[in-house]
Amino acid sequence: MKVKKAVIPAAGLGTRMLPASKTVPKEMINIVDKPAIQYIVEEIVKSGITDICIVTGRGKATMEDHFDYAPELEDRLAASKKDSQLAAMRQIAEMANIVYIRQKEAKGLGHAVYCAKPFVGDEPFAVLLGDDIVKSEGDPATKQLCDAYDQYGLSVLGVQKVELSEIGRYGCVKPEMLSQRAMKVLDMVEKPRPEQVFSPYAALGRYVLSGEVFTKLENTKPGVGGEIQLTDALKELAFDNKLIAYDFEGRRFDTGSKLGYLEAVVEYALCHEEVAEGFKEYLKRIAASL
C-alpha cells in the first residue's frame, strides 16, 4: 500500500529554544524567511504526500494561521501588484490538505503519534518530527523511506551515523545489514547510557510506519522521562521482525536546539537566491577575523 498520509508531531514546549519559544512555537521560528515547519511540509509534498496531520498543543495556533489564506495581506499584495509574493502566499495555503489534532497532555512522542490514529486509520504513514529539517540534494528523506517501505513492506526508521559521544541524545538501533543503506532492526534503546550503545546508528526524526504501530502504542508503558516513547513501540515491532532502518541521504538539522538552528540558518542562507552572495561575503569577513 502506498504511503498517502503524514503526521508531524509539533506539540512540544520547545524548552531548548527558550526564551524565543515562550510565545512563538519552536516550529514557527524562521530559517531565513520560512518557519521551520514549512520546510517539513514541503518535504512531505515533494515526497508525493498531500494529506498531513499536525499534532499541536496549546499556544500553537500560529501554525494553523500560517497554512491558511490571509485575505487582508493578499488583498494588499494584489493592490500593490506584487504578484510573485501573492502567488507565494497562496501557494503556502494550497500546497497540502492539513488537519490539526490537539495533544491535550504532554505524554511524549509516542502519545503524540497515537493522537493521530483517527486521521491515519490502518494505513501506512510517514512521521516527521517538527524540529528536524533534512536538506537533501536528491530525493527528500521521506521519499527515500517511502521507497524502502515499498521495497520491504515493513515499517521504516530513518537513521544516520552520529558520533558515539552524541548517541546518548537519540534512539540507538542494533542493526543487521540488508543492503548498503537498509538494515534489519534487532533491538533499540532510547537515549542509551554508554554501556547500552549498540551502534553509531541513531534515529533522526523520520519514520514510515504501518498502522500496526498503534496497537503497540496502546500497550506501551511510560519509559524514559516518564513519557510514552515511540522507540519502545518500535522496539516491539523489531522483536516481531517488522522493522527496518534506512540510512537516508541528506543533511539533518536539529532546529529545536540553538546550535542546530544556527547551522540550519547558515546552510539555507548560503543557497537562498536573494541573500546567498551577500551572505557568503559576510561569512568570509567574519571568518577572517576569527
Write the pLDDT tens digit of every residue in 221-267. Answer: 877 777 888 988 999 999 999 999 999 999 999 998 899 999 999 99
SS3 content of the chain, % helix, strand, coil (to 5): 40, 25, 35
- Among residues 224, 250, 237, the alpha carbon closest in space to that of 136 is found at 250
pLDDT band for 6, please (50, 70, 90 cuts): very high
Q: What is the pLDDT of residue 226?
A: 77
* Higher local confidence (pLDDT), 135 or 191: 135
Cell numbers 503526521 correspond to 7
Alpha carbon distance 43, 48 (integer Å)? 9
Alpha carbon distance 34, 95 (integer Å)? 15
What is the rounded average pLDDT for all residues in the chain?
A: 93
Q: What is the mean pLDDT of residues 2-28?
A: 89
Cell numbers 514510515 correspond to 208
Which three cell numbers mark 19? Answer: 526564551
pLDDT band for 290, please (50, 70, 90 cuts): confident
Q: What is the mean pLDDT of residues 14-34?
A: 89
Q: What is the pLDDT of residue 106?
A: 81
Which three cell numbers mark 123? Answer: 494505513
Q: What is the pLDDT of residue 202?
A: 92
Pairing mode, strands 5-9 and 125-128: parallel
pLDDT band for 217, please (50, 70, 90 cuts): very high
Q: What is the pLDDT of residue 17?
A: 83
Q: What is the pLDDT of residue 283?
A: 96
Domains of the chain, CATH where assigned: 5-288 (3.90.550.10)
Residue type, 135: K
Q: What is the pLDDT of residue 219?
A: 86
Question: 3-class DSSP state for residue 95?
Answer: coil
Alpha carbon distance 209, 54 (integer Å)? 16
Per-residue pLDDT of 266-286, as tens digits, reads 999 999 999 999 999 999 999
Alpha carbon distance 189, 174 (integer Å)? 9
For the entire predicted model, the pTM comes to 0.93
Per-residue pLDDT of 110-152, as tens digits, reads 999 999 999 999 999 999 998 899 999 999 999 999 999 999 9
Alpha carbon distance 193, 204 (integer Å)? 18
Q: Residue 244: enclosing H or E segment and its boundaries?
A: strand 243-247
Q: What percent of the chain has pLDDT over 90?
A: 76
Find the radius of gyration of the CA atoms of the chain.
19
Main-chain phi, psi angles of 200, to 5 degrees: -85, 5
Which three cell numbers mark 71? Answer: 485575505
pLDDT(13) > 90:
no
Per-residue pLDDT of 71-104, as tens digits, reads 999 999 999 999 999 999 999 999 999 999 999 8
